[in-house]
Amino acid sequence: MGINSRTGKDLCVHFTAAAVNMATSSSHSAVRRVAIFGGTHGNELSGVLLVKHWLKHGEEIARRSMEVRPFITNPKAVEKCVRYIDTDLNRVFDNQSLSGDQKGKVPYEIEQARKINSLFGPKGSKNGYDVILDLHNTTAHMGATLILENSRDDFTIQMCKYIQTSMAPESCAVLLIEHPGVKYATTRSIAKHPIGIEVGPQPQGVVRADILRTMKNVVNYALDFMQYFNEGTEFPPCSLEVYRVLEKIDYPRNESGDLGAIIHPSLQDQDWKPLNPGDPMFITMDGEVTCYEGENTVYPTFVNEAAYYEKNQAFAKTEKVTLMAQALRL
Ligand SMILES: CC(=O)N[C@@H](CC(=O)O)C(=O)O
Ligand SMILES: [Zn+2]
């Protein structure tokens, strides 16, 4: 069964406070320090290879007006080609983990998070890096994706718009993870303007040239944007269509927590495509289908991401939302 009409419409439109007076422009200070993080997850190899390459060939990412620093954030996980050693580095940049009052043996990633926070933060202070681009790969069919944490940050919205426009006709989706129930304390969150760069599909422990090239292009467009901004280029007011996370959906599971069903073939690889009421989501080994019973069309993403089986997430539901940013200049 399943209607599968693939005719989703936008659920609603949110405007940030910045949209109230589009005539004014916001003035920001120059971007001085930018970090490019790779290996936050040691088995996501496009970012690992690019950052290792740029550590030797810094000239490829150098821009006149700012410092650009490539950095491997989880070297032990990179060495073992695993997501993490003790705990997920991209979940432990909360104030409690960073503050250092944890008793007993400290997990490797917590130690590492504190080190990273002192080098590129501290989180929430004015001494933190201006921008951190954190490179990730997904096993899901998401293409190039920018992950945005704050819907009111005009600078980052303008940067996403610039990257999206430059990437065309290749698509570049923007995922907003601001939702209080779903938000997590990312490595990049210690910067004033954090951006995740997520590119897939790429299996864990594998590097694909097409995916690596896409990631490299996104990074270069991000750096170009910051260089133009520092040179005084004015960016006009803009709107940005984003997919805002609503909730995580787990696989059906049996009493012992094992998988009771898997992603249905008609949802597999359909990231960002509308999922309408009645559309299939899961199928059991006996062929029994579970359909989506919500009232509104949603847009699934991270569909069948390998790293999320342990996080009880089969995919994330998102809605389409339009953000607005004021004109931007130095
Ligand atoms: C597949 C993967 O690792 N995704 C990232 C997304 C992000 O950086 O926000 C994570 O779960 O940390
Ligand atoms: Zn990752």
Please tell me whether 69 is known to bind a ligand.
Answer: no
In the chain, the number of structural domains is 1
Is 249 among the domain residues?
no
Is 214 among the domain residues?
yes
Q: Alpha-carbon distance 207 to 44, whole Å? A: 8
- Residue pair 187/40 in contact (Cβ under 8 Å)? The answer is yes
What's the one-letter identity of residue 12? C
Q: Alpha-carbon distance 304 to 142, whole Å? A: 11
Residue 314 DSSP symbol: S
Is 163 among the domain residues?
yes
Name, in order, each residue with C-beta under 8 angstroms of 16's C-beta and a sequence gap of 6 or more: 151, 152, 323, 324, 325
Atom of ligand 1 nearest to the CA of 196: 8
Show pLDDT as tens, one digit a residue, over the chain (330 residues): 333 333 333 434 444 444 444 446 777 899 999 999 999 999 999 999 999 999 999 999 999 999 999 999 999 999 999 999 999 999 999 999 999 776 778 999 999 999 999 999 999 999 999 999 999 999 999 999 999 999 999 999 999 999 999 999 999 999 999 988 878 999 999 999 999 999 999 999 999 999 999 999 999 999 999 999 999 999 999 999 999 999 999 999 999 999 999 999 999 999 999 999 999 999 999 999 999 999 999 999 999 999 999 999 999 999 999 999 999 999
Q: Which residue, by CA, sits nearest to atom 1 of ligand 1?
A: 138
Name, in order, each residue with C-beta under 8 angstroms of 59's C-beta and a sequence gap of 6 or more: none
Q: Alpha-carbon distance 313 to 50, whole Å? A: 28
Q: Roughly how many angstroms between the first and final C-alpha of the chain, as a whole number?
A: 55
* pLDDT (0 to 100) of residue 128: 97
- Residue pair 325/158 in contact (Cβ under 8 Å)? The answer is yes
- Give the number of other Cβ atoms within 10 Å of residue 313's Cβ: 18
- Residue pair 162/221 in contact (Cβ under 8 Å)? The answer is yes
pTM of the model: 0.92
Which of 150, 130, 142, 159 shows the shortest CA–CA distance to 219?
159
Residue 123: give its domain's CATH number.
Answer: 3.40.630.10
Cα-Cα-Cα-Cα dihedral sign, residues 158, 6, 295, 300: negative
DSSP structure string for 91-116: G--SHHHHHT---SSPPHHHHHHHHH
Is 22 among the domain residues?
no
Is 192 among the domain residues?
yes
Is 8 among the domain residues?
no
- Residue pair 81/43 in contact (Cβ under 8 Å)? The answer is yes
Is 237 among the domain residues?
yes
Q: How far is the CA of 330 from the centre of ligand 2 (A)?
A: 32
* pLDDT (0 to 100) of residue 7: 39
- Choosing from 82, 136, 197, 318 the residue with most ligand 1 atoms within 8 A of its CB, the one to mutate for a pocket test is 136
What's the one-letter identity of residue 147? I
* pLDDT (0 to 100) of residue 182: 79
Please tell me whether 187 is known to bind a ligand.
Answer: yes
Instruction: Look up tokens 């709107």; give the residue.
Output: 239
Domain enclosing residue 41, as ranges? 29-243
The token duo for 7 is 């005719």
* pLDDT (0 to 100) of residue 24: 66
The token duo for 141 is 């069919």
Please tell me whether 264 is known to bind a ligand.
Answer: no
Residues with catalytic annotation? 198
Instruction: Give residues (CB < 6 A) around ligand 1.
Output: 41, 90, 136, 138, 147, 186, 196, 198, 305, 307
- Residue pair 26/303 in contact (Cβ under 8 Å)? The answer is no
The token duo for 212 is 């690596």
Name, in order, each residue with C-beta under 8 angstroms of 56's C-beta and a sequence gap of 6 or more: none
* pLDDT (0 to 100) of residue 27: 72
Atom of ligand 1 nearest to the CA of 305: 1
Helices (H), the chain: 45-56, 75-80, 95-99, 108-120, 154-167, 209-230
Is 13 among the domain residues?
no
